[in-house]
Amino acid sequence: MMEYDEFGLLPDNATEAGLPWAKPPSVRREFIDVAPGQQVSVLVWGEADPEVVLVHGGAQNAHTWDTVALALDRPLIAVDLPGHGRSSWRADRDYWAERNAEAVAVAVGALAPHAQVVTGMSLGGLTAISLAARHPGLVRRLAVVDVTPGVNAEKAAPIAAFVSGPETFASFDELLERTIRFNPTRSVSSLRRGLLHNARALPDGGWAWRYDRLRSPGGQIDSTSLWADLETVTVPVMLVCGTESGVVTDEDRAEFRRRQPAARLEMVDGAGHSIQGDRPVELARLLADFLASTV
């Protein structure tokens, strides 16, 4: 069985991104009780009060932010959404934004109550919008990465095609081969690291994903109710999109700006939907600049 050291892969992240590596960062995993029988797993970077909260997308986990965290080089937390990573699975498979926000609020309140920015990507971005609307005391700045409430099945089709594939694989090589086919712009080394974090070895030698499958209400992807939530947010907001992604359209960006007239809109050249994987250092730079801005 392949050996796995989740923090032992961080030097590879730094090397691939061209980041300096002097010594391993302080990072640990904690578990927060968020409801009876339910825990949320969180990676805690640094020893000081976290300044940043990072929330991943569907079918991902907190390690998707590793290179961003290394580039930011500041105390932060990266949350495993319910049903993902090491967090508990839900019997009802309700992993949509509103329910996720309930759990994330407990985790943020316990570990990062004074964070200066909450950043969410894809499903994590929708969750962050819901968190900002329902728990405004926990969100002082909101950064949304490559998603809006206008996302639908058509826009998310390339992602869904990958996520809706097999749940188990005969070998790690089979899992890696399929992942490479669906992610042609990413390096094999980065995809291999991601799979080691996002899949688990089975006793029979096979491999299975660490995440549970989402159950779409009514079989539809519909987050349009979150437009109203977005409109209630009163803190500074930034939307970051990848130029190679089709998840957010020009019409979505216009609607985002209509709901948040002062929002900062950024496009990252060469990035697809997972900007934290495609252009992590650039995303970290944008987040640092957003944190430093006065508006």
Helix (H) or strand (E) holding 163: helix 157-163
* 87 carries an active-site annotation: no
194 by Cβ neighbours in 10 Å (0-12 / 13-18 / 19+) ranks as: buried
Which of 56, 63, 197, 273 is flagged as catalytic?
273
DSSP string, 20-72: --SS---EEEEEEEEETTEEEEEEEESSSPP-EEEE--TT--GGGGHHHHHHH
* 146 carries an active-site annotation: yes
* 122 carries an active-site annotation: yes
- Residue reference for tokens 């019409």: 251
Which of 87, 88, 122, 190 is flagged as catalytic?
122
Q: How many CB atoms lie within 10 A of CB 137?
A: 8
Q: How many CB atoms lie within 10 A of CB 166?
A: 11
Which of 66, 80, 146, 278 is flagged as catalytic?
146
Cα 220 from chain centroid (whole Å): 21
Active site residues: 122, 146, 273
